[in-house]
């Protein structure tokens, strides 16, 4: 297992705390990062944390932490910031993963009109990036993942109903989807990508983060809610919470345990 600390970042400005965490062996921090709009930050997190988090991202990088951005997405709020968030993450070599969480009907509120779907995310990225990443890239990588799973049986490539992955390759000033490396024409525009090919095998150990600034791993994770809960899939989750009751799968905890406790 690879431990990660999930944080809004407020207490992580404390150098003594960071030193204690590193002495304990922590390498990964999942940082809540919902974009660059102060109003959204106040609405989602209760305060304008934008400037604090931007400084913290650089501080954690200097200290050697690997960062994983956790981005809640909501229609009529920050959905159109997807490309801007990815572009920012691609320029930070220690930000190795970004997970987008389209808003489900679970948690503090159940506003139907703000529920967000996978299709909304794909379309917003298509629009916002101007074609740098398109809806078709998600499906192309899903087909590639299915092929690699049949070939290797590596759990990294196993299809999950709730997760849609896409790997981005960092360029000098942005990114390109991994599947486009199969098109020879891409190297005329981005000759630096040729060197990235030799680093592809390092993705097999993605939890160790040894692929450096070559790749940015992105997931769109649509949480189950109580209306769409799939028992078998939820128990087979690759994310777990450590609780007083032991290890609890991610969506099981979010949809059932917290609901019962609330």
CB 39: neighbour CB atoms within 10 A?
10
For 244, residues 6+ apart whose C-beta sits below 8 A from its C-beta are none
Same domain, 173 and 141: yes
Same domain, 246 and 163: no
Over residues 216-241, the mean pLDDT reads 77
Same domain, 109 and 157: yes
- Mean pLDDT of all residues belonging to the chain: 87
Q: Which of 37-41, 117-121, 215-219, 243-247 has the lowest mean pLDDT?
A: 243-247
Q: Specify the number of domains making up the chain.
A: 2
Same domain, 188 and 236: no
Same domain, 191 and 253: no
Same domain, 215 and 252: no
> How high is the pLDDT of residue 113?
59
Same domain, 16 and 98: yes
Same domain, 165 and 197: yes
Statement: residue 224 has pLDDT above 70: no
- The bridge status of strand 240-243 relative to strand 4-7 is unpaired
According to DSSP, residue 75 is labeled T
What is the tens place of the pLDDT at every residue in 54-97?
Answer: 999 999 999 999 999 999 998 888 999 999 999 999 999 999 99
Task: Using pLDDT thresholds of 50, 70 and 90, give the confidence band for residue 229.
Answer: confident
Tokens of 218: 């992105």
* C-alpha pair distances (Å), 262 with each of 239, 240, 241: 22, 20, 17
Same domain, 143 and 253: no
What is the tens place of the pLDDT at every residue in 101-155?
Answer: 888 765 555 555 567 888 999 999 999 999 999 999 999 999 998 998 899 888 7
The CATH number for 158's domain is 3.20.20
pTM for this entry = 0.87
Q: Which domain holds residue 242?
A: 228-262
Cβ atoms of 104 and 221 within 8 Å: the answer is no
Task: Using pLDDT thresholds of 50, 70 and 90, give the confidence band for residue 9.
Answer: very high
């Amino acid at each position: 297992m690879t431990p990660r600390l999930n944080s809004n970042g407020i207490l992580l400005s404390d150098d003594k705390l960071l030193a204690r965490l590193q002495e304990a062996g922590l390498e990964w921090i999942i940082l809540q990062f919902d974009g660059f709009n102060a109003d959204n930050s106040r609405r989602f997190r209760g305060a304008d944390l934008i400037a604090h988090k931007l400084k913290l991202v650089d501080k954690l990088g200097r200290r050697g932490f690997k960062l994983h951005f956790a981005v809640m997405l909501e229609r009529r709020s920050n959905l159109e910031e997807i490309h801007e968030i990815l572009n920012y993450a691609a320029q930070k070599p220690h930000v190795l993963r970004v997970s987008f969480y389209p808003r489900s009907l679970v948690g503090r509120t159940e506003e139907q009109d703000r529920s967000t779907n996978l299709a909304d995310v794909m379309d917003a990225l298509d629009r916002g990036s101007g074609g740098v990443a398109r809806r078709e890239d998600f499906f192309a990588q899903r087909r590639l993942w299915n092929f690699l799973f049949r070939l290797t049986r590596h759990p990294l490539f196993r299809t999950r109903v709730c997760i849609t992955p896409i790997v981005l390759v960092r360029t000098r000033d942005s990114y390109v989807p991994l599947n486009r490396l199969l098109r020879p024409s891409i190297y005329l525009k981005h000759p630096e990508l040729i060197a990235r090919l030799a680093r592809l095998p390092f993705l097999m150990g993605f939890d160790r983060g040894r692929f450096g600034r070559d790749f940015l791993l992105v997931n769109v994770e649509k949480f189950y809610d109580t209306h769409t809960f799939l028992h078998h899939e939820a128990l087979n989750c690759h994310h777990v919470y450590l609780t007083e009751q032991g290890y609890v799968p991610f969506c099981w905890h979010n949809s059932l345990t917290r609901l019962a406790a609330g």
